């Protein structure tokens, strides 16, 4: 059975993929905390769970030493780079420490994992692959999500370069670009508006909790990610990008064909109207 590594399996997309892919692959998953590792080992006894904090170089280095001992000389077929965080807030007032954390986890951390995984992906007889979990926020920049958007735009550009480099090595590199998916990533930011109460943006972001809840109510189920990920893993000619969204054509049109001034107009109109149409992804 081929082996795959999935980062960030404690909850959300990572946990779902680890569960759904286990019939097809030997899954190695990573979590940041021992408490999550213990819980997963009870709930998923067939899963190999490794502690890895992708924001810490020494943690990543140690995790791959653990992986090497578990693989016992065998190779990885695929890396699914899923671990990440979302830091919302207006860029003009976002503390630099929070912006740096966002970039460290969602960009630098992704590359740390890729570099650590590469020796295990080289020389795979099956034609190994790297799947980076991005977002439609890597295609369209929403207000008050600038740090998250910056991290996903960076991940998209980095993935394009990596794909062209790794093609020389026989490794396929693929992007997943999900829209709103029913996970807890944004619930972790409930109450964020209070941090910016003394800024001129407060009146626009004070309904952030309502927007987050509305987004989760209308989000796609986790099952929406399964088919494209399996295709990316199993197809001999996977797509470079998979948009996972209720209206993928609309997203593509808005990102690449709609004039940016018109898109600005639509976004600002919705913000000023107070409607729940600007979603945190």
Residues tagged active-site: 10, 134, 148, 152
Q: Report which secondary-structure segment, H or E, holds 162.
A: helix 146-166
Kindly provide the b/e burial profile for residues 70-85, where b requires at least 16 CB atoms within 10 angstroms of the residue's own CB. Answer: ebeeebbbbbbbbbbb
| 91 close to 147: Cβ distance less than 8 angstroms | yes
In 3D space, the residue among 50, 120, 42, 119 whose CA is nearest the CA of residue 83 turns out to be 50
Residue 181 DSSP label: B
| 9 close to 40: Cβ distance less than 8 angstroms | yes
In 3D space, the residue among 103, 91, 85 whose CA is nearest the CA of residue 187 turns out to be 85
Strand-by-strand arrangement of the 48-51 sheet: 48-51, 26-31, 3-6, 78-81, 129-133, 172-178, 241-244
- Tokens 């990008």 belong to 241
CA angle 68, 8, 155 (to 5 degrees): 95
Most distant CA pair in the chain, distance: 59
What is the C-alpha separation between 75 and 249, in angstroms, rounded?
A: 37
What is the C-alpha separation between 63 and 50, in angstroms, rounded?
A: 6
């Amino acid at each position: 059975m081929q082996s795959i590594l999935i980062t960030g399996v404690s909850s959300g997309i990572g946990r779902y993929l680890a569960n759904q892919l286990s019939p097809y692959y030997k899954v190695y998953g990573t979590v940041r905390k021992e408490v999550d590792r213990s819980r997963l080992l009870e709930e998923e006894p067939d899963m190999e769970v490794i502690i890895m904090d992708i924001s810490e170089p020494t943690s990543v280095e140690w995790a791959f030493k653990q992986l090497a001992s578990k693989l016992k000389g065998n190779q990885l077929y695929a890396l699914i780079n899923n671990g990440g965080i979302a830091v919302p807030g207006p860029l003009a007032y976002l503390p630099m420490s929070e912006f740096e954390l966002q970039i460290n986890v969602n960009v630098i951390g992704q590359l740390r994992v890729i570099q650590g995984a590469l020796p295990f992906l080289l020389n795979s007889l099956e034609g190994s692959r790297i799947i980076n979990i991005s977002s439609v926020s890597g295609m369209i920049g929403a207000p008050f999500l600038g740090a998250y958007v910056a991290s996903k735009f960076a991940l998209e550009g980095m993935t394009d370069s990596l794909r062209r480099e790794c093609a020389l090595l026989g490794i396929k590199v693929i992007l997943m670009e999900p829209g709103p998916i029913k996970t807890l990533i944004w619930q972790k930011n409930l109450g964020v508006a209070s941090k910016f109460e003394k800024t001129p943006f407060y009146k626009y972001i004070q309904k952030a909790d309502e927007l987050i809840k509305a987004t989760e109510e209308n989000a796609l189920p986790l099952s929406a990610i399964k088919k494209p990920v399996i295709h990316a893993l199993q197809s001999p000619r996977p797509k470079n990008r998979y948009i996972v969204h209720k209206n993928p054509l609309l997203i593509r049109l808005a990102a690449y064909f709609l004039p940016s001034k018109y898109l600005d107009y639509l976004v600002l109109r919705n913000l000023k109207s107070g409607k729940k149409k600007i979603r945190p992804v």
